[in-house]
Structure formats: structure tokens, C-alpha cells
Amino acid sequence: MTICRIQTLISCTLLLTAGLISAGCNGGNSSENLEKKEGKKVDAISARENLEKRRICKANLDKVYQILQPSAENINSELQAAVVILNQWFGSCADLSKTQRDVANPLFMPQTEPEFIASLNSDSVSLGDVLYLRDQLLIRKVVEHVVQNSPTDLEKIRAIFEYTCRNITLDQQLIDPRLAATDLITQERLSQLDPTTIPRTLQDVILAGRGLPQDRIWVFATLLEQLNLDSLVMMPPESADAKASSPAILFVLIDDQLLAFCPELAIEFQANAEDANQLWAASALSKDFNSLFNTFPGVTFPEGSPIQQMQAIDWKTADVFLPYAMLSTSRRMEALQIEFAGEMACTIYQPLEGDDANGVGLGERVTSRLKPILGERKLTFWSYPHNMYQQSLLASEEALTLRELSHATLMKEVRSVRANEDQNEEKTYKVSMERQMLKARLQQLLGNETEALRTYIRIRLQFSVTGTGAAVQFENLMRFLQAEDAQYWSAISQYESQGYRAAADTLQNYVARYPNGRWANSARQLQAEALAKNDKPAEAVEILKQSEFPASMDVRKEIDLQHWQAP
């Protein structure tokens, strides 16, 4: 009996132990399942947080684009707001490269401020970044308009060059001397003014439609940059400042071949006058660089011509520059380049050195293809774009006033009357003052010629203000200057929309009305080109023969005369 109880007790104990073990195992599975569920919940929350973060980051960049995008309605946006939003984006969204920009990098000119180069490594956005981004967005939209009917790279490059020369008239003063009749600036100050001290961004240059030879180079190179076409500027040492005595040469690289242009003279040095598709080889130019200037058969240039000056230069000692803003190499632009897609797509970053992500760096990319020409010379960034952005950042009150004077007709507000209709079909009229000229010029640059022409016509039809006194005289002067600009830009709009006959008529009217106008020389040259495009070369030749141009325009004149007079 006792033995039976003991056996029963042992059996119960074994069963209880087995039950406990079984319960323990099942409890472990429950715990693991619970942990898995909790893990999935955490992952889901994390995924939602990441999605929300990405949404906010994208929304912030969209806000920046709304502020900086090139549009007539957006022309007077508050840029400081973009600085604030971008700094927020860099604080929480940016994936910055760990590669540091080295002060000793040979691409930076020795006189470049070390503080500026150090700032290229910073994640703090300045107004300079915003000005640069605004410029690149505008230039991207402009180049899309310019090359829309050009299928090949060669045609694109030449279309961009002609567009640049047509839209940037050379002017060593930048400020209309007729403004000296007002209290805004004295004749003495105007005569002493160094134009390079006027702070201007690319947007300022292209909107004003006037600039220095350096501005043409800057605009041309940046338009090319937006198509990922590399360029190089070669200039004698004395040509590096605004008082250049010899025009610079800009090379455009296509694979291992080159196109050569002189933006100041508005000419291309073609490798073969009879075959526009034949390009220069760096190896050939290294053996005989002066062959560049012997590409105009049948053209005789007068004594002292800029072409003869260029032939007399030892180009083996010329400086060679990359015509890009140094801001393009910053870590900030590297991070933003990845995010600038869709409507915002544009080239804003240039890698200094090659790595797995970026491939070959800018310097190596250009040097490797131009080694026969460069020899032992070192490439550096051109200081001009950098100086212009720095001046815009550090501008004094006087400098800002000079900038506004260089855009006087664009900044002048025009009276605008708009009609509104209520529910009872009764009309009310709202009178406001708007910078219509500025908006029209931007519309023109973006390819909206019809809208631009409508505004230009309204501006040309403004009446003079009656009365006496300084205020009335100033108002009438500004209306006169605006009407003059509007007529010239109307002709450019007509020309660029292939309305050559209308453009020639508008320019003929301009020259008759403003024989000594600010655009008179450019108007005569463009009138001749419009007539030639309209199959009237004899009339084009007659226009040029009757025109007296400055030396920088005479070279193009002689080439056109020879071309249009050819049997």
C-alpha cells in the first residue's frame, strides 16, 4: 500500500514537472511573439516618422523653390526667408559629404580668402548661397528656351552664344549717363565710376541686358554649364580685370574636341570656314595657336583691330580659368544637387576631386582634355563670379544705389489699372503701381514673347506727365527711357520668335526715333541680321556700311559684310 502511494506520488510529481516545463516553453513562445509584435510596432512607427520627416524636408525645399523660382510674380521675393528655410533643412534633412574642401587646393586662386574656402565646408546657408541658387534656376529655364529647337550639341552651343551676345550689350558704364541730369548721381561721380564696383548677380546682368565683356563670358559659361558642357577661359594677364586691353577666348569642350569663341567680339573662331561641323583639336592648337585667328578667309581687318591685337599675344603665357562660381564646390551644393529634381532640376554643383560618387573632378576633367594646350599651366577658378557674389553680400548703401541705377528702367514702377466685376456685373477699377518693365523682361527671357510684347507696347504708349518741377521732369525722363528700352527689347522678342521682318521694322523705327540711343549700335547690327535672315542681304550690307561701330563690334561687322556680299 505504501509502495503504491509512493509510485502514485512519483507519477504525479513527474506529470507536474512535465506540465511546468511545458508551460515554461509555451510562456517563452508567448514572450517572443510579444517582442516581435512590439518590434514590428516600433518599425512601423519609425517608418511613419521617416516618411513624415521626408515629407517635411521635401515641403521645405518646395517652399525654397517657390521663393526662388524664375517667374514674373516672384521677382521681388523675400530672399531671407529662403535662407531661414534652407538652414532648417540642413539642420534636420541634409546628408552632407565628409570630404573637406582644402584651402591648398590648386584650383583656388592664391588671393582667395581662406575664410571663404573654409565656409565651403560649413552647413550654414548664407544669402550668397540663395543668390547663387536663384541665378542657376533662372539660367536653367533660359537655356531650355534657347535650345528648344536645336537638336545637336553643336547647334545648342552656337544658339547659346548668339543668344548671349544678342541679350548682353557691352557697356563700360552700366548706368545711363542721362540719369546724371537728375539728383540720383552726378556727372563727376559717373565719370569716375569703376563698373566692377557695382554689385550684380547673374540675374541682374541678364535682366539689365547690358554688361562688361566679363559678364558675357559669365553668362555664356553658365548657360553651357546647365547643359553639362565644360568651358575654359583663356586671357592675357592684363585682361583679367575690367580694363582689359585684349579680348579673352572661351573654349567649349565636346569630348576631345573644342569650339573657340570670343564673347567680347561676338565671333566664333571656326576650325574650317567651309565646314561648320569640323572642330579644333587641342593637339593642333598646341602646335600653332595663331591658326585660331586665321579662320576668316577674304576678310581684311583694319590696322589696330582687336583680331590683330590677339594675334600679337603670346598665348602660351595666358592665364587659364574655370568660369564658374566657387560656391558651386561647397558641401551644401553637393547635398542640394541630389535633391534638386523635377521642376527644380538644374546644375548647381561642381566636384573638386573625383570619387566613387562623382567620378572625375572638375579640374582633372578639363585638364585631361586640354593638356596639349595647357602645358604646365595650372587651372584656377576665375575670380570674377566670386567677386560679384561677394560684393552683393557686402554691398554698402551707395553700392546698392548704383545697382538700382544700373536697372533704373526695370525698377521704375508703372501705373496699372485692373478691372474687377462683382456679382451684379458692376465693374470696379483698382489702380496700382507695378514694376511692369521688370516682369516683361523676365517673361521675355523665359520665352513668353507674346506676354512680354503686350507689356512693352503698353509701356511704349505711356503719355508724358504735364506740369513743371523736378518731380515731373524726372517722371518724364524715366518714361522716355522705359519706352526706348521697351522698343529695343520688343525687337529682340520678335527676332527670337523668328519674326525677322517685324524685328527689322521695329529696329528701323528705333534707330529713326533714337539715333543716339543707348541701344543704337546694337539695334543697327541686329537690324542687319534680321534683314539677312529675311533674305535681304543687300539691305543688310547697306545698313552695316552706313554704321560706325566701336572696335569691339567692327570685327563682327567685317565678317558679316564679307559673308553677305559673297556671290
Those residues whose C-beta lies under 8 Å from the C-beta of residue 186, and which sit 6 or more positions away, are 180
Say which amino acid occupies 431.
V
The CA distance from 503 to 494, in Å, is 5
pLDDT at residue 336, as a whole number: 95
The CA distance from 412 to 465, in Å, is 15
**CA of 282: how far to CAs of 220, 254, 285, in Å?**
21, 11, 5
Give the closest residue to 182 by CA, choosing from 408, 360, 517, 6: 408
Full-model pTM = 0.88
pLDDT at residue 267, as a whole number: 97
Residue 406 and residue 198 in contact, taking contact as beta carbons nearer than 8 Å? yes
| Planar angle of CA 200, 205, 417, nearest 5 degrees | 105
Q: What is the pLDDT along the chain (567 residues), one digit of tens a residue?
A: 444 454 554 454 544 454 544 544 555 566 666 666 666 665 666 667 678 878 889 999 999 999 999 887 777 678 999 999 999 999 989 888 888 888 888 899 888 899 999 999 999 999 999 999 999 999 999 999 999 999 999 999 999 999 999 999 999 999 999 999 888 899 999 999 999 999 999 999 999 999 999 999 999 999 999 999 999 999 987 654 444 467 999 999 998 899 999 999 999 999 998 899 999 999 999 999 999 998 898 898 888 899 999 998 999 999 999 999 999 999 999 999 999 988 889 999 999 875 445 567 888 899 999 999 999 899 999 999 999 999 999 999 999 999 999 999 998 887 654 556 656 666 554 545 578 899 999 999 999 999 999 999 999 998 888 888 888 888 899 999 999 999 999 999 999 999 999 999 999 999 999 999 999 999 999 999 999 999 999 999 999 999 999 999 999 999 999 999 866
The CA distance from 84 to 64, in Å, is 9
Q: Estimate the crossing angle of helix 470-496 against helix 520-533, to 10 degrees.
A: 20
DSSP count for the chain of H helices, then E strands: 22, 11
Instruction: State the DSSP code for 324.
Output: S
**CA of 482: how far to CAs of 73, 232, 477, 488, 531, in Å?**
20, 37, 9, 10, 26
Instruction: State the DSSP code for 355.
Output: B
**Alpha helices per DSSP H over 236-380:** 282-287, 306-311, 331-339, 362-374
DSSP per residue over 102-168, as a string?
Answer: PTT-TTS-TTS-HHHHHHTT-----HHHHHHHHHHHHHHHHHHHHTTT--SHHHHHHHHHHHHHHHS
CA dihedral 157, 158, 162, 164 (to 10 degrees): 10
Q: How far is CA 157 from the centre of its chain?
A: 15
Partner residues linked to 322 by β-bridges: 381
Q: How far is CA 268 from the centre of its chain?
A: 21
Say which amino acid occupies 253.
L
Q: Which helix (H) or strand (E) holds 232?
A: strand 231-235
pLDDT at residue 104, as a whole number: 86
The CA distance from 258 to 274, in Å, is 17
Burial of 138 (0-12, 13-18, 19+ CB in 10 A): buried
Strands 319-322 and 380-381: parallel
